[in-house]
Amino acid sequence: MTGGIIGFVLRRAGHAMLVLLVVSTATFGIMHAAPGGPSLLADPKLSAAERRAIETRLGLDQPITVQYTRWLGRLARGDLGHSFLYQTPTTATIAERLPNTLVLASAAIVLMLAVAVPLGVLAASRPGQWLDRTTSAASFTLLAMPAFWLGIMLIILFAVQARVLPAGGVMTEGGDGSLGDRLRHLVLPAVVLAAAATAELLRYTRSAARTAFQLPFIRTARAKGLRDGPIRWRHVTRHALVPVLTVAGLQLPRLVGGAAITETVFSWPGMGRLGVEAALARDYPLVMGVTLLVSAGVLVANLLIDLAYLAVDPRIRHT
């Protein structure tokens, strides 16, 4: 059993390396194929000679294959280069923003699971009743809402009119940075980031739980006199978790992609906002670093989801 899991992890690690190579190659090629160049070359005060000198210093005058080979060589040594935009090592710039994104994404995942799974199971246990109809309507509404529009509406409602939550940032400027202050700043962006993912996961949870309620072992449990509570939470929920975990794993890339919009709306200094800034400035090293790290994070998260299947359903074997 242990040897099979180790072999599975090693094979997935090999596949992940291949995926990262393909992603980095495609990203590098697309960036350099786009017209224009880094924003530091767009300064109208620079002469043609000064632009050529900057290109030579940064190696941008070399063929794209040479540039990519050099980037891979530096990557093998753990060097992602220097950011054109911030004039700092790319690893240091990413390390400064990464904790904020991890906090926001973790809060969104916890919120998504805490809301979608219990509500989905409850709605499935009462088909056609008010809870089922309400959750269905709410999920379709949230799926139809653009993240930036929902964020703006929540800012207007809770920050501008009610003034109970801050409109953006990680903490109050000039404040003490206490845990309570940080949590208040986290509420709105976490809700916006989790909204669409929660709605979709809720729909899948309801469908999986509804199927589980029709299975013979559930009817047997009821015939033996088992109460609805243990049936719902001990048997139905566990049986429905395998497809729910699959859908949750598919939501992870969407949470990462949605973070770019959410972090921009709420001025949240995370990886998503950093990626937008790097793309607008055509900061090649920073774009490559953000893309590589986000891709690796998604691959690791999907691997953890696959391993979680074993805990949920011991009949599953990774061979």
- Give the CATH number for residue 182: 1.10.3720.10
Give the integer Cα–Cα distance in Å for 299 and 19.
9
Residue 69 has pLDDT above 60, yes or no: yes
Helix (H, G, I), strand (E, B) or coil at 83: coil
| Tally of domains within the chain | 1
265, 165 in Cβ contact below 8 A? no
Tell me phi and psi for residue 307, to 5 degrees. -70, -30
- Of 245, 257, 251, 248, which Cα lies nearest the Cα of 294? 257
Burial of 252 (0-12, 13-18, 19+ CB in 10 A): buried
318, 4 in Cβ contact below 8 A? yes
Instruction: Specify the residue for token string 């809301």.
Output: 115
Tokens of 5: 């899991």
Tokens of 297: 């994070």
Residue 209 has pLDDT above 60, yes or no: yes
Helix (H, G, I), strand (E, B) or coil at 222: helix
Percent of the chain predicted with pLDDT > 90: 19
Give the integer Cα–Cα distance in Å for 268 and 171.
10
Give the pLDDT band of residue 177 (cuts 50, 70, 90): confident
> Given this model, what pLDDT does residue 257 score?
64
pLDDT mean over 252-274: 82
Owning domain of residue 295: 1-319
- Long-range (24+ apart) CB contacts under 8 A made by 33-41 are 34/282, 36/282, 37/282, 38/84, 38/281, 38/282, 38/283, 38/284, 39/84, 39/85, 39/280, 39/281, 39/282, 39/283, 40/84, 40/85
pLDDT mean over 95-105: 89
Give the pLDDT band of residue 160 (cuts 50, 70, 90): very high
Lowest-pLDDT range of 155-164, 234-243, 289-298: 234-243
Question: CA 255, 258, 264 angle in degrees (round to 5)?
Answer: 135
pLDDT mean over 214-236: 79
Residue 154 has pLDDT above 90, yes or no: yes
- Of 56, 51, 31, which Cα lies nearest the Cα of 41? 51
Give the integer Cα–Cα distance in Å for 256 and 318.
27
Residue 137 has pLDDT above 70, yes or no: yes
> Given this model, what pLDDT does residue 223 score?
80
What does the mean pLDDT of the chain come to? 84
Helix segments in 126-236, DSSP class H: 130-144, 147-154, 179-213, 216-223, 228-230
202, 154 in Cβ contact below 8 A? no
> What does DSSP assign to residue 89?
B
